[in-house]
């Protein structure tokens, strides 16, 4: 009876120990699995956090880059509205504006630009164009004038047609007067010749007549010569 009881107790203890061991092993296994799951979850969360952080950094960089582009465009627009820059100077300005990091730096740059780029300002360029146009207009006006102001010298490119016409008319009048005088002289000479012939014939007739005119009285030749003198003729136009 005692042996039976001891055997039962021993078996009972062994069974209980085995049960406790099995429970322990199960708990350990469960804990290990839980640890693995937790580690996997932690790694996943950590990876997600890293991805989110990288995405946030990218967004921040993109925002900063966009802000820089917007600031550059705004500053470049302001410069273009104030200056007419040649291509080589514009490239230098672009590099300068890209290097500016704040509004204060841009304000300081504008202060220097007022002096450095004064010849390229809208006002200076407009004044230069106006002066150039005025000079060209004056040059064209000088070319269009028939005479220069100094010495009234004729312009070779634009001869004075009116002056030439007036001069031609005067020359024609002079030539006409000369021709008329020549014609009058020729006519006078012809008349004088005819008169001379008539006088010669008259003298022959007078030679045979008594009581002829005295020697002191002018003869017919002298009278006709005086009457038909060139200065006694007036040429009418």
Tens of pLDDT, residues 40-95: 999 999 999 999 999 999 999 999 999 999 999 999 999 999 999 999 999 999 99
> pLDDT band at residue 202, thresholds of 50, 70 and 90?
low
Domain end among 30, 58, 82:
82
Bin 83: left if φ > 0, else alpha if -120 < ψ < 50, else beta.
Answer: beta
Say yes or no: 69 and 126 in one domain. Answer: no
- Residue-level pLDDT at 198: 56
Q: Is 89 helix (H, G, I), strand (E, B) or coil?
A: helix
Average pLDDT over residues 166-176: 54
Say yes or no: 78 and 39 in one domain. Answer: yes
- Residue-level pLDDT at 168: 54
Say yes or no: 29 and 39 in one domain. Answer: yes
Say yes or no: 57 and 116 in one domain. Answer: no
Does residue 210 form part of some domain?
no
Say yes or no: 88 and 72 in one domain. Answer: no
Does residue 52 form part of some domain?
yes
Six-digit token string for 10: 């021993």
Q: Are 85 and 120 in contact (CB under 8 A)?
A: yes
- Residue-level pLDDT at 225: 58
- Residue-level pLDDT at 107: 93
Does residue 156 form part of some domain?
no
Does residue 149 form part of some domain?
no
Does residue 237 form part of some domain?
no
Say yes or no: 70 and 135 in one domain. Answer: no
Q: What secondary structure does DSSP assign to 2-65, as a single string?
A: HHHHHHHHHHHHHHHHHHHHHHHHHHHHHHHHHHHHHHHHHHHHHHHHHHHHHHHHHHHHHHHH
Say yes or no: 4 and 75 in one domain. Answer: yes
Q: Above 80 in pLDDT, residue 206?
A: no
Distances (CA, A) of 148 to 101, 119, 138, 155, 168: 62, 35, 13, 7, 22
Average pLDDT, the chain: 74
- Residue-level pLDDT at 174: 53
Does residue 47 form part of some domain?
yes
No. of helices (H) and no. of strands (E), the chain:
6, 0
Say yes or no: 111 and 67 in one domain. Answer: no
> Phi then psi for 152, rounded to 5 degrees?
50, 45
Tens of pLDDT, residues 127-156: 989 998 988 888 888 887 665 445 544 444
**Domain ranges, residue 92:** 84-144
Say yes or no: 49 and 123 in one domain. Answer: no
Split into its structural domains, the chain has a count of: 3
Six-digit token string for 54: 């990288």
Does residue 177 form part of some domain?
yes
Say yes or no: 78 and 6 in one domain. Answer: yes
The fraction of the chain above a pLDDT of 90, given in percent, is 32
Tens of pLDDT, residues 110-133: 999 999 999 999 999 899 899 989
Q: Are 82 and 120 in contact (CB under 8 A)?
A: no
Average pLDDT over residues 189-207: 55
Does residue 110 form part of some domain?
yes
């Amino acid at each position: 009876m005692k042996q039976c009881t001891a055997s039962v107790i021993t078996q009972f203890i062994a069974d209980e120990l085995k049960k406790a061991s099995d429970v322990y092993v199960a708990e350990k296994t469960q804990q290990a699995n839980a640890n693995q799951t937790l580690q996997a979850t932690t790694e996943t969360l950590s990876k997600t956090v890293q991805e989110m952080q990288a995405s946030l950094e990218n967004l921040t960089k993109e925002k900063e880059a966009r802000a820089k582009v917007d600031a550059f465009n705004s500053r470049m627009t302001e410069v273009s509205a104030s200056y007419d820059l040649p291509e080589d100077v514009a490239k230098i300005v672009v590099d300068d504006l890209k290097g500016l990091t704040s509004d204060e730096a841009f304000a300081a740059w504008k202060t220097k630009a007022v002096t450095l780029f004064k010849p390229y300002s809208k006002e200076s360029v407009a004044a230069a164009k106006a002066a150039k146009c005025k000079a060209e207009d004056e040059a064209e006006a000088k070319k269009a004038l028939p005479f220069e102001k100094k010495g009234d010298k004729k312009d070779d490119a634009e001869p004075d047609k009116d002056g030439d016409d007036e001069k031609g008319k005067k020359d024609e009048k002079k030539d006409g007067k000369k021709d008329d005088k020549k014609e009058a002289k020729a006519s006078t000479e012809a008349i004088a010749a005819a008169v001379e012939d008539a006088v010669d014939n008259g003298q022959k007739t007078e030679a045979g007549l008594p009581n002829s005119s005295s020697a002191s009285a002018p003869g017919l030749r002298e009278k006709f010569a005086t009457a038909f003198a060139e200065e006694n003729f007036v040429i009418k136009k």
